[in-house]
Amino acid sequence: MLFLRLKNIGMMTRLSVNINKIATLRNSRGGNMPDVLKAAADCERFGAEGITVHPRPDERHIRYSDVRAIRPIITTELNIEGNPIPKFIDLVNEVRPAQVTLVPDAEDAITSNAGWDTIKNHGFLSEVCKEFKNNGIRTSIFIDPSPVMAEGAAKCGCDRVELYTESYASGYRADRQAAIAPYIKAATAAKEAGIGLNAGHDLNLENLEFFIRTIPWTDEVSIGHAIICDALYMGLEQTIRAYLSKVKIF
């Protein structure tokens, strides 16, 4: 019993809060309200175990300057997501976050909408992963829930994959077992390949706990939009506590 308890503690999933939506609200009026830096610090103070930012080339929410300013105040982990175009690579190498998540989003994408084809992009992803890992940065590749893509990501030299969970979230109410089935296969493939597992996109208070209970070796979930939406009614502190209760279940 003691062994099982220690094993479960070791597998506990971490919650990283994506603060892009806070920056979107700030940018809609100009000025510095709400204060993105204060929000990042408050999220950690309220229990978040990481902060995620996803700067896009047009800086329509998180700006590159925000990323530079946030880095010194983070006391847990900073995760920078984005398409590894040259200026993104330069930013990550300058800031040196705990983790970088490679996402193949187009410049005009409203939000991330697909994972990498890790087979077709093997050469490019391998080079990027090698560069970041040489700088001591944990690398994660954003993929669709496919065992083949998970195995391909591992061959690129990444440390983790992040499963794109939109299809799980959209299918959860109709048939949660069917919705999560491909994720179990992809997560198992990642584990067997010796890499870690993250997950993110449209995870919320309704569907999060089932995902973690079914795939308990999930290292981290990155959640932003749902947290900010819930915070409008519950307040940011209570919302983060509610999400933590869904991942700290073992």
Query: How do residues 125-160 score in pLDDT, each as one tens digit?
Result: 999 999 999 999 999 999 999 999 999 999 999 999
Which DSSP category does 163 fall into? E
Question: CA angle 165-207-164, nearest 5°?
Answer: 5
- Band of pLDDT at residue 250, cut at 50, 70 and 90: confident
| pLDDT for residue 110 is more than 60 | no
* Catalytic option among 54, 151, 162, 166: 54
Closest to 207 in 3D by CA, of 174, 241, 250:
174
3-state secondary structure 39-84: HHHHHHHCCCCEEEECCCCCCCCCCHHHHHHHHHHCCCCEEEEECC
Which one, of 74, 124, 112, lies nearest residue 95 by Cα?
Answer: 74
pLDDT(112) > 60 = no
Asked if the 2-247 domain carries CATH number 3.20.20.70, the reply is: yes
pTM given for the model: 0.93
* Catalytic annotation present for 54: yes
**Predicted confidence (pLDDT) per residue in 84-106, tens digit:** 999 999 999 999 999 999 999 76
Mean pLDDT (whole number) for 221-231:
98
> Which sign does the torsion angle of CA 61, 110, 25, 230 carry?
negative
How do residues 157-187 score in pLDDT, each as one tens digit? 999 999 999 999 999 999 999 999 999 999 9
Look up 81 and say whether it is catalytic.
yes
pLDDT of residue 111: 55
Nearest-angstrom CA–CA distance, 194 and 185: 14
Can you tell me the distance from the alpha carbon of 194 to that of 197, in angstroms, rounded to the nearest whole number?
A: 10
Whether residue 34 has a cis bond before it, omega within 30° of 0: yes
What is the overall mean pLDDT for the chain? 93
pLDDT score for 51: 98
Annotated catalytic residue within 44, 49, 201, 220 = 201
From 49, 81, 151, 220, the catalytic residue = 81
Residues in contact with 210: Cβ distance below 8 Å, sequence separation at least 6, in sequence order: 172, 176, 180
pLDDT of 6 over the 50 cut: no
Whether 225 sits among the annotated catalytic residues: the reply is no
